[in-house]
Structure 1
């Protein structure tokens, strides 16, 4: 394994722990599988490539990612944030390029809690005037 750069990404209930290995061949593994196998839907797989393309490191860095919780989309977006944070730890000068593409911003949107007296977070029981 050797030395690596660590980044943590979160989205909704997903947590992605990213380890970047600087002199690699572009091998990305998620939970022990190739990222294109794990995220078979192309848009989710592309989320992992975007930060590398933004800084011109596509195919030059290896990443080992562990994802827990959430679904496929939130998992891939958590990976994207984790990769971006690890790249910034690697070289601070990557930050503006990643920031301008929005890869450094943690998406704060999460499921709103259900309130007592309501059916869902905001859905109230049907109301009859008479």
Structure 2
């Protein structure tokens, strides 16, 4: 955790991408650097991605766009996340990074698209219906 912004975002150099997954929203900036990833949570704290997401599988998911485009360790990432849980936030950051990489170099679109990283996962929680316990579950029916 840092008290001041961990990465200075220069609008002339940095590229931006918004990622969404379920209720999670990630605003992602990438800029040339050494591969550092910082996440600002809705509480206002800034974290190193490994400290915030904790699980290695989520860190691998975040780095997937860099692995596909062979740019791992060449960009610093600054992301603000809010909503949903940490797995959905990690996928939102991944999608935001993919969009920012495309903005940085349009030639990256082809490998990112073939890896399935340029498609938003639109699955969200189904709404609860009236006269039911939940989205699908119903109250028990009694004949008498």
Fold conserved (TM > 0.5)? yes
Question: Which stretches of structure 1, 4 residues or more, deviate above 2 A after TM superposition?
Answer: none
After superposition, the C-alpha distances for 1:28-84 in whole angstroms (9 at most, x for unaligned) are 111121111111111111111110010010000111000001101100000000000
Give the corresponding residue for 1:120.
134
d(CA) in 2 for partners of 1:111, 1:48: 23
* Pairing 1:8–2:1 present: no
**Corresponding residue pairs, total:** 129
Q: CA deviation at 1:129?
A: 3.8
- 1:14-33 pair list within 5 angstroms: 14-21=24-31, 23-31=32-40, 32-33=46-47
Q: Alpha-carbon deviation of 1:128?
A: 2.6
Give the whole-Å Cα distance in 2 for the aligned partners of 1:43 and 1:33: 17
Show structure 1 runs of 5+ residues with no match.
none
Alignment of 1:69 with 2:99, yes or no, is: no
1:56 paired residue among 70, 83, 86: 70
Residue in structure 1 matching 2:61, options 22, 47, 50: 47
Which consecutive unaligned segments of at least 5 residues does structure 2 have?
1-7, 41-45
What root-mean-square deviation, in Å, do the aligned CA atoms of Structure 1 and Structure 2 show? 0.9
Q: Distance in 2 between matches of 1:18 and 1:29?
A: 10
The normalised TM-score by structure 2 is 0.87
Specify the alignment match of 1:85 in structure 2: 99
Q: Does residue 36 in structure 1 map to residue 50 in structure 2?
A: yes
Query: How high is the TM-score relative to the length of structure 1?
Result: 0.96
Question: Which whole-Å CA distance do the structure 2 matches of 1:101 and 1:118 have between them?
Answer: 40
